[in-house]
Structures are given as C-alpha cells and as structure tokens.
Chains A and B, each alone.
Chain A
Amino acid sequence: GDQVEQSPSALSLHEGTGSALRCNFTTTMRAVQWFRKNSRGSLINLFYLASGTKENGRLKSAFDSKERYSTLHIRDAQLEDSGTYFCAADSGYNKLTFGKGTVLLVSP
C-alpha cells in the first residue's frame, strides 16, 4: 500500500485565512520534503526536514519521524498560493515517495 497518505486532496481558502496539510507515513521516514507545483509543472522546493519544524514566511512545516507524520501550515493565504502541494518522504534509501498532492484554491 501507499507509504505516504496526503490530506486533504483539495482545499479551498479565502484570502487571509489559513489551514494545514498533512502527510501520514505507514513506515518510519528519515526526512520529508514539501513542494509546490508551479504553473509550468515544475516542483518548487518549500521545505526539507529531517526533524522538528521550519518556518518560511507564511509557511511552516513540522516533521515527527516517530509519530510518522508531517504537516504544512499556511497562514494569511494569498491568491498566489493557489496550486498543488506535495509532500515526499525518504525512508532511508535515497528515494522519495510522493503523496498524491493537495490542490489548494485561494479565493478573494
């Protein structure tokens, strides 16, 4: 079965609000990455975490290897945040397993 379960699959936010995306792992992961796919289909790196939390502007991510999950929090959402977000985790064999993605739509 899937090693990375990402939720929700779709999310609608009004400008200025926030929410969280989550990835649950069925096995222990060594590290997690979060990406946003831009309009050209390229993956933009948001975060790489081997543990703990990181923050960058209005985005914050956390990774708990023991509890087998990672989260991506978005606050004060802006229209340009709309897009598809992916988590991907490394189980220790130098290969990423991707979640199915979250389609985020931010509306005025």
Chain B
Amino acid sequence: GPKVLQIPSHQIIDMGQMVTLNCDPVSNHLYFYWYKQILGQQMEFLVNFYNGKVMEKSKLFKDQFSVERPDGSYFTLKIQPTALEDSAVYFCASSHRGGAEQFFGPGTRLTVL
C-alpha cells in the first residue's frame, strides 16, 4: 500500500533544544497530519495541514510547535524549545483529500532529556 516515511526513527535531545521531525508523505496526497502517542496512552491528533496552512489543531499543539511543507519537500514538525513532556512517538499521516483514508508513517520516537 501507499507508504509514508519518517526521518529520523529515533531522536534524543536535551530539554530546551529545537528538534525537527521529517515526514515524506504519499506522493499524490494533499492533506498531512501529525499525531502524538505518549508511552502507554492512545494516539492523539495534533494538527492537520492543507495547501500550506494549518486547518485544525488540538490543544496538544502548543505554541512551541510549528509545521510546514516548503516547496513540496518534507512535511515537518518543529518543536522549539522542547520540554520533557514532549517525549513521545510522533506519527505523520497523509491522505489524498480531506476526510479520506489516512496512511501513517512508522513514527519518530522523541526522547527529551
């Protein structure tokens, strides 16, 4: 099936540093998403993105978070500065259109020390 790639698979950083998580969505998809899963908890929606704009974000999407997809390259989630509670696995997803089937990447495990 369609594949979403995420780079890196693991990232360990010190609290207060900036981190960028990269997602390579399915090639003809137009909607992009980030989800967060803290160890032992449910996957939770962070943000969706279409046509260069954030369409909807949850309360988990703090001011320190930002997303972009410059010129059709990676869809990125940037956290600046990071906090201990940002430690989680972050999953990227994409869909061909809004409301369509979402396909997920394998996740990036972020550890903030």
Which A residues fall within an 8 A CB radius of B? Answer: 30-31, 33, 35, 40-43, 45, 48, 86, 88, 90, 92-101
Contacts and interface: CB of A to CB of B under 8 A. Distances in A.
Interface of B: 1, 31, 33, 35, 42-45, 48, 55-56, 58, 89, 91, 93, 95, 98-107
B98 A94 contact: yes
Given A43-B104, A45-B104, A94-B98, 18 more contacts: A33-B102, A41-B89, A41-B107, A43-B91, A45-B101, A45-B103, A88-B43, A93-B56, A94-B31, A94-B33, A94-B95, A94-B99, A95-B45, A95-B58, A97-B45, A98-B42, A98-B43, A101-B42
**Which 8 interchain pairs have the tightest Cβ spacing?**
A48-B101, A95-B45, A43-B104, A42-B106, A98-B43, A94-B98, A94-B48, A98-B42
A95 B56 contact: yes
